[in-house]
C-alpha cells in the first residue's frame, strides 16, 4: 500500500489550550525518559532568543502501535477530538491527525498516525513506520496478551527507523477497567519493561480521559526538546535563527533550499 502525505498549504491555528510553557511532568519517575523538572537550559535560551532554526516549521511524526483493540484509535480520538468514540472516524487506509502546539513560544506540530486495522494481521505497511520520531506502543492493562506483544511491536517499528533517534513511550490503556490491586500488579511489570526498553511509561483511560492530555503534552514537549537540541547541534556555531529569510532582491534566495528541508510547504 502506498501512502501519500498531502501537501499542507495552510496549517490550522494553534489552539489556546495547546500552549506549553513548562515541561509537563512524567507519570512515574521510575520510568521517565528524563526526570528533569524543566526544559533543557540550552533549549530555553534558544527559544528565548528565537534561535530555533526550522523547528517552528517542523512536523514530527508520531506512530501508535499495539495489538488490535487495545484502544489506539480511542486514545487518538480522545486527545484530538475530545470524544470517546471509536467510530468517530472510519479509518480507511493509513490516516493521521495533525496537532499543533506552541512550546516555549515556538510553534510545533505532531502528526499522529493511526493504523487502519492492519494490526489485526500483524502486518503493517512499512510506510506507516518510516520516519517516526516518536513511537507509542500501547497495550491494554487488563490484557496480558497485549502486553506480551510489546517487544514484537517495538522490533517492527524500529526496522524502518534509526533506533537511537526514536523516542519511545509505553502506554497502558483502559485503566478505568482495572481494580487498583490488579492495576498495581500490572504496573510493576510495565515499569520493568519500560526501563529495559528505555521507554517512558504512562497509564491512561480514553473513556474517562485520565492522563490523556498530560501524556500527549509530555510527548510533544520531549519531541520538541529533542528537535531543538538536534537543530542546535546541526548548526554548531552558525546563527540558526536566520535560515529562513527570503526577500525579493536577494542574495538570501540561495537560502531557500534550507526551507525545503523543513517539511514546510507554505
Ligand X SMILES: Nc1nc2c(ncn2[C@@H]2O[C@H](COP(=O)(O)OP(=O)(O)O)[C@@H](O)[C@H]2O)c(=O)[nH]1
Choosing from 68, 165, 246, 253, the residue that interacts with ligand X (CB under 6 A) is: 68
Least distance between ligand X and beta carbon 58 (Å): 27
Q: What are phi and psi of 130, to 5 degrees?
A: -60, 130
In degrees and rounded to multiples of 5, residue 14 shows phi and psi of -85, 125
At closest approach, how far in Å is the CB of 78 from ligand X?
Answer: 8
Which three three-digit cell numbers place residue 26? 512524567
Q: How many chain residues touch ligand X (CB under 6 A)?
A: 15
Q: Is the Cβ of residue 3 or residue 14 nearer to ligand X in the bound state?
A: 3
For residue 85, give the C-alpha cell.
468514540
- Report if residue 176 touches ligand X, rule: CB under 6 A: yes
The grid coordinates of residue 237 equal 556555531
Does position 5 bind ligand X by CB under 6 A? no
Say which residue the cell 494490526 belongs to: 119
Please identify, among the stretches 19-27, 38-46, 69-77, 193-201, the one whose residues bind ligand X according to the rule CB under 6 A.
69-77
Residue reference for cell 530555553: 44
Strands 106-114 and 95-103: what pairing? antiparallel
Q: Which of residues 177-196 bind ligand X (CB under 6 A)?
A: 177
x/- mask, ligand X, residues 76-115, rule CB under 6 A, reads ----------x-----------------------------
CB–CB of 51/184 below 8 Å? Answer: no
Q: Give whole-number Cα distances, 94 to 124, 125, 156, 208, in Å.
A: 10, 9, 17, 26
Distance CA 266, CA 259 (A): 10
Among 23, 32, 47, 74, binds ligand X (CB under 6 A): 74
Segment lying near ligand X (by CB under 6 A), choices 64-72, 124-132, 215-223, 245-253: 64-72
Alpha-carbon dihedral of residues 244, 59, 196, 41, nearest 10 degrees? 40
183 CB-contact burial (10 Å; exposed 0-12 / middle 13-18 / buried 19+): middle
Does residue number 73 form part of the binding site for Mg ion (CB under 5 A)? yes
Q: Are 216 and 29 in contact (CB under 8 A)?
A: no
Minimum CB separation from Mg ion for residue 121, in Å?
13
- Give the residue, chosen from 71, 96, 147, 170, that forms a contact with ligand X under the rule CB under 6 A: 71
Instruction: Show contacts with ligand X in window 199-228 (CB under 6 A).
Output: 205-207
Number of amino acids touching Mg ion (CB under 5 A) = 2
Residue 172 lies near ligand X (rule: CB under 6 A): no
- Binding residues for Mg ion (CB under 5 A): 72-73
Contact positions toward ligand X, by CB under 6 A?
A: 68-74, 86, 173-174, 176-177, 205-207
Amino acid at each position: 500500500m502506498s501512502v501519500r502525505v498531502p501537501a499542507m498549504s495552510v496549517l490550522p491555528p494553534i489552539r489556546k489550550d495547546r500552549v506549553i510553557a513548562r515541561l509537563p511532568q512524567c507519570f512515574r519517575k521510575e520510568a521517565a525518559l528524563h526526570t528533569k523538572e524543566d526544559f533543557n537550559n540550552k533549549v530555553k535560551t534558544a527559544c528565548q532568543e528565537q534561535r530555533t532554526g526550522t523547528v517552528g516549521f517542523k512536523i514530527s511524526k508520531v506512530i501508535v502501535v499495539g495489538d488490535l483493540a487495545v484502544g489506539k484509535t480511542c486514545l487518538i480520538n480522545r486527545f484530538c477530538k475530545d470524544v470517546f468514540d471509536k467510530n468517530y472516524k472510519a479509518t480507511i487506509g493509513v490516516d493521521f491527525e495533525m496537532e499543533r502546539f506552541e512550546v516555549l513560544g515556538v510553534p510545533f506540530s505532531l502528526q499522529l498516525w493511526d493504523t487502519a486495522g492492519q494490526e489485526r494481521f500483524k502486518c503493517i505497511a512499512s510506510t506507516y513506520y518510516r520516519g517516526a520520531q516518536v513511537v507509542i506502543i500501547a497495550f491494554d492493562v487488563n490484557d496480558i496478551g497485549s502486553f506480551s506483544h510489546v517487544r514484537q511491536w517495538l522490533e517492527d517499528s524500529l526496522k524502518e527507523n534509526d533506533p537511537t533517534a526514536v523516542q519511545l513511550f509505553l502506554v497502558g490503556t483502559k485503566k478505568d477497567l482495572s481494580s487498583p490491586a490488579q492495576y498495581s500488579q500490572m504496573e510493576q511489570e510495565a515499569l520493568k519493561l519500560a526501563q529495559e526498553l528505555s521507554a517512558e511509561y504512562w497509564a491512561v483511560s480514553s473513556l474517562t480521559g485520565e492522563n490523556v492530555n498530560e501524556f500527549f503534552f509530555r510527548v510533544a514537549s520531549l519531541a520538541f526538546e529533542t528537535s531543538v537540541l538536534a537543530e542546535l547541534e546541526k548548526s554548531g556555531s552558525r546563527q540558526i535563527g536566520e535560515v529562513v529569510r527570503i526577500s525579493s532582491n536577494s542574495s538570501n534566495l540561495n537560502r531557500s533550499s534550507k526551507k525545503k528541508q523543513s517539511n514546510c510547504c507554505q
